Structure formats: C-alpha cells, structure tokens
Amino acid sequence: MRVSGEDVTWVLVDGENIDATLGTSIIGRRPQPDERPRWDRLVSFAARQWNQRARGVFFINASSVIPQSFVQALKAMDYEVVLLAGAPDEKVVDIAIQRTLRALADRDDDVMLVSHDGDFLDDVAALIGGDRRVGIVAFNEFRNAGYATLPGLQLFDLEYDAAVFDAQLPRLRVIPIDEFDPATFLGA
C-alpha cells in the first residue's frame, strides 16, 4: 500500500535525447512541426496509464541559449521547466535527471523517465520495487538495451503507446504477429 497522501507520477523528460534521436536517427533532418512530440499528450498518457495525476518536468540545457518560446509553451502545458547551465564538458541535463531520480527514491511517487540514455540505468533500477511503478518512455528500437533487463520496469514506446505525434514517423519496427495487418503495407 502506498504511503503518500496523493498519488502522482513524475514524468521526467530528457528533451535533448529525444530530439536528437528523432532528428538524427529516425527522420534524418530537422523535424517538421507535425513530426514533433506533443508534450501535453505525454503527461496525459502517464495519467491515463497509471490512473492518477501526472506532473511533467522538462530538463533543458540553457548553457548557451534559452529557447524562450519553447519554455513558454511547456509552462502553458503545466510542465516544470528546469533550465540548467554548466561547463561545456558537463552533461547538465543528465546530472539533473540523475539527482532527481535519486531524490525520488526517498518518496513513494511513481516515475516515468522519457529518455533512451543508459546513464540512468542504475538510478532507475534503484527505484524499482515495492508499490512504486517505474517506466521508460522512448522509441523502443533506440532505448538502451539495459532497460529491458530490469525486472519490474514498464517499457513504453513514445509513438505507439504514448501517441504523442500527429504524423506517423518513418520507423522500422518488429511487429508482433498478433498485431500484423497486411492492409498496412498493401494499402486500402
């Protein structure tokens, strides 16, 4: 049984990691507006998935520039926006997410991490157990393979499960035979 007074899911977004994977590995160019994630849908997905309130925290490296319009849009979606700065060789977003995961270890709250990065494996593993639910939201084919080895960790696909895109992305994926529909390839 959970001890906290109000159940909440913390949705921690490594935006740089998702953006880099989307642009470099999936699309191969800068995404068009309809190819960008709808971040409000991510928090809604988390709330629906675990049937409780979800709070988004979006981490941004602001060492050189602050993307004001993007920050304002995130704030309008009720995200906590964490602007970080550091030395050029510091991975400030990773450091902040790791610290946040460690702080959440002392709480009963559920956690969804939105990243492919294996730098968070140990901290995510430390959260698993008891009544806390822990999930990783990413493009499955680019998610660090170490996450699949963590028993109790729930894995979600950013496009297929969370449905945060308006356009279908040009991805190759392994299709479970029960989901295979030849009409997808043959046309209507």
Give the phi and the psi of residue 51 in degrees, each rounded to 5.
Answer: 55, 50
Q: CA 37 to CA 162: how far, in whole Å?
A: 10
Is 49 a residue whose pLDDT tops 60?
yes
Chain centroid to Cα 51, Å, comes to 18
For domain 8-186, the CATH superfamily is 5'-nuclease (3.40.50.1010)
Local structure of residue 58 (DSSP, 8 states) = E
In this predicted model, what pLDDT tens digit does every residue of 132-161 receive, in sequence order? 999 999 999 999 999 999 999 999 999 999
pLDDT on residue 165: 86
Structure-block tokens of residue 168: 């279908």
The residue with greater pLDDT, 173 or 37, is: 37
Please state, as a whole number, how many other Cβ atoms lie within 10 Å of the Cβ of residue 158.
Answer: 26
pLDDT band at residue 33 using 50, 70 and 90 as cut-offs: confident
pLDDT on residue 1: 33
> Could you tell me the pTM of the whole model?
0.88
Average pLDDT over residues 128-133: 92
Q: Where are the domains of the chain?
A: 8-186
In this predicted model, what pLDDT tens digit does every residue of 76-126 receive, in sequence order? 999 999 999 999 899 999 999 999 999 999 999 999 999 999 999 999 999
Compute the residue count for the chain: 188
In this predicted model, what pLDDT tens digit does every residue of 17-30 receive, in sequence order? 998 998 888 888 88
Give the phi and the psi of residue 186 in degrees, each rounded to 5.
Answer: -90, -15
Is 2 a residue whose pLDDT tops 90?
no
Give the three-state DSSP class for 144: coil
Is 4 a residue whose pLDDT tops 70?
no
